[in-house]
Amino acid sequence: MLLVEGKTTDEIDSIYAEAIGKTCFVTRHDKFIRRFRELGNFSIEVRSSIADIVGKKDCNVYIVDTEVPDIHLWPAPILTDPEAFNKTWLFLVPKLSETHRMEMFPNNSWCFTRNYNAISEVVSFLKQRVNPELARKIKEVNYLENVCSFFIRMENNKDYILKVGDLPEADSSGIIEYEIGENNRYFRVKQKSGNEFEVPWDDILYHCEPRYEYYKGNQDNNIQKDRVERVSNKIRQLRKAKGVSITDLAKQAGMKRPNLSRIESGKHLPSLETIERLSEALKVPVAEIVSFGSNR
């Protein structure tokens, strides 16, 4: 559950509703709609048929009751919306074993057994998806050797493919070990060469989540390069001012020395998680590391 201090239940529901966005519920079952509205202050449109959502592109979430009479028109809605595969699709089905009757499920789709209690499960699922704390925790990691990438599932059930080649800390040797670290906030990687590094949650979102504030695709290259240089200079400046070696600072921050060396040389922008660890080791506020004052 998302915790918001000082907020009433109604205010928290409104926060969830805003984060989830506009929802379209396709059903002819009035009890489902009433239950959905009881559980949250959602922005919802109700449609009674699949035909009603063909060409409809203004919703973020679609809940489809597969007992509507024209379910045979599926997958027309996703064939007519180029952005359909980036949205969330939830299906209420009589039995989970009967999903084979439908074709072309979008990537972001889930099925729930069709009954009154399923609406509570759907609402809980949607709130989980937008809970910022769960977006920062890693649930599962698997290495896909054929494509040299990690398959990552976060606690909010969002899945990502992270290419090893996108990680500046990695070298060209193969991956031999990986495990999720403390508090599920990062995962460790060991390569055949002996190189070891950590991948924190915000590095994952930086490379893979377009909605993340600091997603790499949202930043101008020149601004990004300038930011990397400023942060690397500030960390090196603070370390030297305190008379700490790069080896000792890496140890105090719980990092591998090569990782810190890459950061100080401006080859890698550290994640927020890493900056917080460095600020604690250097005994300075995070703001002092990321400030845009003169670092030279």
- Closest by CA position to 202, among listed 221, 187, 223: 187
We find that the CATH architecture of domain 9-130 is: 3-Layer(aba) Sandwich (3.40)
Residue 139, H or E segment: strand 138-144
Classified by CATH at the fold level, domain 223-290 comes out as 434 Repressor (Amino-terminal Domain) (1.10.260)
pLDDT tens, position by position, 134-173:
888 999 999 999 999 999 999 988 899 999 998 878 889 9
pLDDT tens, position by position, 245-260:
988 998 899 887 777 8
pTM above 0.85, yes or no: no
Total Cβ atoms within 10 A of residue 104: 12
Torsion of CA 150, 154, 157, 159, to 10 degrees: -20
pLDDT score of 219: 57
- Closest by CA position to 2, among listed 155, 130, 153: 130
Give the strands of the sheet with 88-93, arranged side by side.
44-47, 23-26, 61-65, 88-93, 109-113
